[in-house]
C-alpha cells in the first residue's frame, strides 16, 4: 500500500495537492478537517463537539479525532492506499496512526511536508475565506491561533517521522503543477 501523510501548516496547499495525488495514484483521501465539516453540516453529535474547537481555531481533542479516523479507515477495507490530510496533528495522533496501520499490516510510506512561511499562509487563508465561506479563514485572530496550534502541537510530528526516516520537505511556494511534480518525484522514489 502507498500511505502518504501530507503535512504542512494551515493554508499550505494540502487540500489542492491531495486532490491531484488521489487521482494519479488511486488513493483514498482522508481529510480530518473535511470530515469534521461534513459532520457540522449534518448536525451530528461529533459535528457539534468539533465545532466548539474549530470555531476558535483550536485542535479537536486527540481521542475524538483518533476514534473518528479509525472509523474512516474501517470504511475503506479495499483501499490501495491513503492520503492523510490534516492528520496526524499531534504526536499522540501519529503514534495512534502507526498502531492502526500496523493492525492492518501496513504502515506510512512517507510524510511529505509542504513548507510555506507564515506571512504567505496568512495571505492565502484570508483570500480563501472570501470564497470558501469558512469562518475560521475570515478572522485574523483565529488564523493566528491556528498557526500557533500548528507551531506548538503539530510541528513536533515532523520529528516523529524524521526518526523513522520518512520525512521529506517540499517547497510549497510556486505553481500548483510544479509543486505537484515535486511531490510525485518523492513518491516515485519511495515506492
Tell me which H or E stretch contains 113.
Answer: strand 110-115
Question: Binding to ligand ADP by residue 129, rule CB under 6 A?
Answer: no
| Among 56-64, 73-81, 103-111, 169-177, the segment contacting ligand ADP (CB under 6 A) | 56-64
| Among 83-91, 97-105, 171-179, 180-188, the segment contacting ligand ADP (CB under 6 A) | 83-91
3, 10, 94, 113: residue in contact with ligand ADP (rule CB under 6 A): 10
Q: Please, what is the Cα angle at 19 between 13 and 21, to 5 degrees?
A: 95
Q: Please, what is the Cα angle at 124 between 121 and 125, to 5 degrees?
A: 85
Question: Binding to ligand ADP by residue 142, rule CB under 6 A?
Answer: no
2, 81, 83, 89: residue in contact with ligand ADP (rule CB under 6 A): 89
Question: Binding to ligand ADP by residue 146, rule CB under 6 A?
Answer: yes
* Cβ–Cβ < 8 Å for 7, 112: yes
Residue 124 falls in the annotated catalytic set: no
| Among 18-26, 50-58, 99-107, 160-168, the segment contacting ligand ADP (CB under 6 A) | 50-58
Q: Which is nearer to ligand ADP, 64 or 105 (CB)?
A: 64
Pick left, alpha or beta for residue 11 (phi over 0 → left; psi -120 to 50 → alpha; otherwise beta).
left
Residue 51 falls in the annotated catalytic set: no
- Residue of 20, 37, 122, 128 marked active site: 128
Minimum CB separation from ligand ADP for residue 53, in Å? 5
Q: Which residues contact 38 (CB under 8 A, 6 or more apart)?
A: 47
Dihedrals phi, psi of 172, to nearest 5 degrees = -90, 15
Give Cα 104 to chain centroid, integer Å.
Answer: 21
Cell numbers for 157:
510530528
* Cβ–Cβ < 8 Å for 189, 166: no
Task: Please count the residues of this chain forming the interface with ligand ADP, following the rule CB under 6 A.
Answer: 18
Question: Binding to ligand ADP by residue 59, rule CB under 6 A?
Answer: yes
Q: Centre a 10 Å sphere on the Cβ of residue 184 and count the other Cβ atoms it contains.
A: 16
Catalytic residues: 14, 89, 128, 134, 146
Site residues, ligand ADP (CB under 6 A): 10-11, 32-33, 36, 53-54, 57-60, 65, 86-87, 89, 93, 136, 146
Amino acid at each position: 500500500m502507498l500511505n502518504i501523510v501530507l503535512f504542512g501548516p494551515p493554508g499550505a496547499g494540502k487540500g489542492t495537492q491531495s486532490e491531484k495525488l488521489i487521482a494519479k495514484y488511486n488513493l483514498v483521501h482522508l481529510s480530518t478537517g473535511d470530515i469534521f465539516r461534513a459532520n457540522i453540516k449534518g448536525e451530528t453529535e461529533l459535528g457539534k463537539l468539533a465545532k466548539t474547537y474549530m470555531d476558535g481555531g483550536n485542535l479537536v481533542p486527540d481521542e475524538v479525532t483518533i476514534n473518528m479516523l479509525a472509523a474512516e479507515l474501517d470504511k475503506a477495507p479495499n483501499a490501495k492506499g491513503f492520503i492523510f490530510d490534516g492528520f496526524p496533528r499531534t504526536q499522540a495522533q501519529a503514534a495512534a496512526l502507526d498502531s492502526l496501520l500496523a493492525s492492518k499490516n501496513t504502515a506510512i510510506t512517507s510524510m511529505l511536508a509542504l513548507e510555506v512561511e507564515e506571512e504567505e499562509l496568512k495571505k492565502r487563508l484570508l483570500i480563501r475565506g472570501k470564497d470558501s465561506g469558512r469562518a475560521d479563514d475570515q478572522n485574523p485572530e483565529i488564523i493566528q491561533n491556528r498557526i500557533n496550534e500548528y507551531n506548538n502541537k503539530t510541528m513536533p510530528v515532523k520529528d516523529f517521522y524524521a526518526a523513522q526516516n520518512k520525512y521529506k520537505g517540499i517547497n510549497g511556494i510556486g505553481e500548483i503543477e510544479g509543486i505537484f511534480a515535486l511531490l510525485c518525484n518523492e513518491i516515485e522514489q519511495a515506492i
